[in-house]
Amino acid sequence: MTTYQVPQRMNFAAVAPKVFKAVLDLHAAAVEGIDPVTVELVQIRASQLNHCAYCLDYHTTDARKAGESEDRIHQLPAWRESSLYTVEERAALALTEAVTLLPGGVSDEVYEEAAQHFDEAALAQLIALIFTVNTWNRMNVTTRKTPGTA
């Protein structure tokens, strides 16, 4: 099988190390107190929506290390039709999609559903996680960072 090598445009970390470190620090702050499996589900789903191959590779690997099953990883694009996700995870995934896509904003229904399953502090952390993974996705898609590169 012949694979296509997508040429990386730049090594963002090397070119803009202060910005890269700031995003790393933001990510570290955002994940505090969130269940590691939920963190990875959110990061995988946002990365699917943003077509970020690097982040998909990275976060599916981390999800497996956190104990995530292959079935749940594979069914994530169709999480609404799957019975494998908890009500909390479903609320987090709905919020992830709304914040990532911003289809006219985040509806009251989606926000209130998440607020039913996460207290205000946890909800703030979840929102921070979602915008942080979107930052990573945009950085990596723009610079064409590919799986298997540092």
Quick check: is 105 in a domain?
yes
Q: Give the pTM.
A: 0.93
Q: For 132-148, write each residue's pLDDT tens digit.
A: 999 999 999 999 998 87
Quick check: is 101 in a domain?
yes
Quick check: is 51 in a domain?
yes
Quick check: is 106 in a domain?
yes
Quick check: is 13 in a domain?
no
Give CA separation, 81 vs 43, 72, 85, in Å: 19, 12, 10
Which range marks the domain in which residue 124 is found? Answer: 34-143
Q: For 58-116, write each residue's pLDDT tens digit.
A: 999 999 999 999 999 999 999 999 999 999 999 999 999 999 999 789 999 999 999 99
Each residue of 62-92: b (16+ CB within 10 Å) or e? bbeeeebeeebbeebeebeeeeebeebbbbb
Quick check: is 128 in a domain?
yes
Quick check: is 118 in a domain?
yes
Count of domains in the chain? Answer: 1
Which CATH number goes with the domain that contains 125? 1.20.1290.10
Quick check: is 24 in a domain?
no
